Structure 1
């Protein structure tokens, strides 16, 4: 009997809960229907498409870099016995920076030179004998091969001897050195970092809309963040033919100002691209555009309803966009309230 009572109470409880949920759903549906009836349209504001002046000038930031930069490596082994240039020194291409102990190699070089000279004399003597058929062809070939071997050994030792004088491969300043008197070096060991700052270069990145305005050879005003009140300029030397991962193109300016010695590699600079023309273009606010910059569009109003229209645009720096296709002057587009607007939505201009 007790079990039957418990089951009956449980059934009554479940029924009460179901009835309550049903009533709540009915109330929500009635409220939604009432909202639909009382809000037959979306309030929006509009913006008129108009021709306005646009400034094509733009700026791009970058970092000054040396025109050439390399890490000089040793090609020989031995201890440094003479230092001719140190950190901060200016070197010309071919200048000796350090001298490595060459006594052993120089001895081997002297022996190889004597052997080569003797082999050359023997070759000339045997060639004279061969002209009178005094020796066989095989004997002449053996002497010729002996001379080639002696000459190759001499050339190899001459290269090894030259390598004991570690020279600058480019002109520039020694920005860092890795040696002291007596340092034991080996092939592949870094000796010095050399940078050539004549001229400096400024590397910047510009957008696809800006790159079309830049030409190789253009002279561009440049400002340096750390040097106030000074005017500099750079000449466009390189324009990348392919965009990077951020869809920007690399542009390199070679600095050509007389006072560029004040600029140091690593400083920040700003290239100021200035253009004479200020054209009239169709403009609307960026907030009036729906979708992405790749697939942009706008909503117009026709017979009280929102109508979607795809357009082609060019983003501008002032928060507006240039309309390249899809609209004409005088068209009105929805400017606000777009979050609730879709194709066919009834709208009312505030």
Structure 2
């Protein structure tokens, strides 16, 4: 009985040993497999030849080059105002009128002066015509010896046209005075010289209107511009006609496309900045002078250059590096960078077109690290 018990213990011991041996071998195999399958997941994009554009953002103010500040040609008391702020007017629309009482009196007096001068001219002409007829008779009598030389000279003096020339000048002057008076009367009615929107009305009935203050301001709102101020290191990179992206938050408008319409040839003496204007259309009239705008303008560009995403650049020990994938391994490459647009970076040296450049996971790898591409684009 004791012998059977010992045999059973021996069999159990051998079984446990075999089980432990088998389990140990399995663990070693799993660990080896884990080591073989270790890698760093990365995303890649191929280095490619493309055009890079660097843009700069500015803030500016909306205004109109076609603001018309209207003043009466002559001062006077306002009798009526026919418009208000916000009205859209066309050329010839009556804006306001001045009192015409004194102006009409001036016209009446000038008209009387013209009639008087004309009457004087006609009377003088008749007198000279009679004097010329008398001169012909006096000349015949003088030839016959019937009158003296002095009598002939008197007749010649009376027939002179000099007095007629003088009254002609007086008549012409009277006509000019009438024309001026009539123009003054006409100027009592202020009309719009062009199409526009009324943005200011500074006169009221009963008040005096003069050239000291614009009576009415008109603005053409369908075509406006943004005025910007740029530094000297940027102004020479801008060109008239170049496109610009314009955003006006207060107008709740979508991004607009404007064009540079003017570049100041000299800097402002106070700010040392150069004023430029970006023209924009305003077909819906939502944009108003005085609003602020954000403008994005291309200030640098490079064509046909090799470029990568800016996030691909890793800086180590003052060097610019990228990591590319070759045979599922990370390969470190030192590169020289050129234009940096923020999103893209120009590579001038150290990289070839088409190489798979890491854009994610690149900070986790080193030379020779085993990697696996899990995202991005490989072509």
Listed as ranges, the matches of 1:80-229 within 5 Å are: 80-117=78-115, 119-120=117-118, 123=121, 134=132, 135-186=159-210, 188-228=212-252
Q: What TM-score, normalized to structure 1?
A: 0.57
Could you report, residue by residue, the CA deviation over 1:216-256 in whole angstroms, capped at 9, with x for unpaired residues?
A: 12232211122456121222211111122443321111113
Classify 1:221/1:74 alpha carbon distance in 2 versus 1 (closer, same or farther; 3 Å): same
Could you report, residue by residue, the CA deviation over 1:10-49 in whole angstroms, capped at 9, with x for unpaired residues?
A: xxxxxxxxxxxxxxxxxxxxxxxxxxxxxxxxxxxxxxxx
What is the RMSD of the two structures over their aligned residues, measured on CA atoms?
A: 4.2
Aligned to 1:254: 279
Could you report, residue by residue, the CA deviation over 1:231-287 in whole angstroms, capped at 9, with x for unpaired residues?
A: 21222211111122443321111113645x221111111222236636879xxx9xx
Classify 1:188/1:195 alpha carbon distance in 2 versus 1 (closer, same or farther; 3 Å): same
The Cα of 1:173 is off from its aligned counterpart by 2.0
Counterparts of 1:107 and 1:83 in 2: how far apart (Å)?
23
The Cα of 1:127 is off from its aligned counterpart by 6.9
The Cα of 1:187 is off from its aligned counterpart by 5.5
Counterparts of 1:131 and 1:315 in 2: how far apart (Å)?
95
Classify 1:54/1:184 alpha carbon distance in 2 versus 1 (closer, same or farther; 3 Å): closer
Unaligned segments of structure 1, at least 5 residues: 1-52, 289-313, 319-327, 331-350
Listed as ranges, the matches of 1:1-350 within 5 Å are: 55-117=53-115, 119-120=117-118, 123=121, 134=132, 135-186=159-210, 188-228=212-252, 230-245=254-269, 246-256=271-281, 258-259=283-284, 261-274=285-298, 277=302
Alpha carbons 1:65, 1:265 under 8 Å: kept: yes
Give aligned pairs, total.
247
Classify 1:189/1:252 alpha carbon distance in 2 versus 1 (closer, same or farther; 3 Å): closer
Counterparts of 1:243 and 1:187 in 2: how far apart (Å)?
32
Could you report, residue by residue, the CA deviation over 1:287-325 in whole angstroms, capped at 9, with x for unpaired residues?
A: x9xxxxxxxxxxxxxxxxxxxxxxxxx99897xxxxxxx
Unaligned segments of structure 2, at least 5 residues: 1-50, 133-158, 307-314, 319-337, 343-347, 351-379
* Mean CA deviation greater in 70-79 or 210-219: 70-79
SS of the equivalent of 1:85 reads coil
The Cα of 1:176 is off from its aligned counterpart by 2.0
> Which structure is larger by alpha-carbon Rg, 1 or 2?
2
* Mean CA deviation greater in 189-198 or 95-104: 189-198
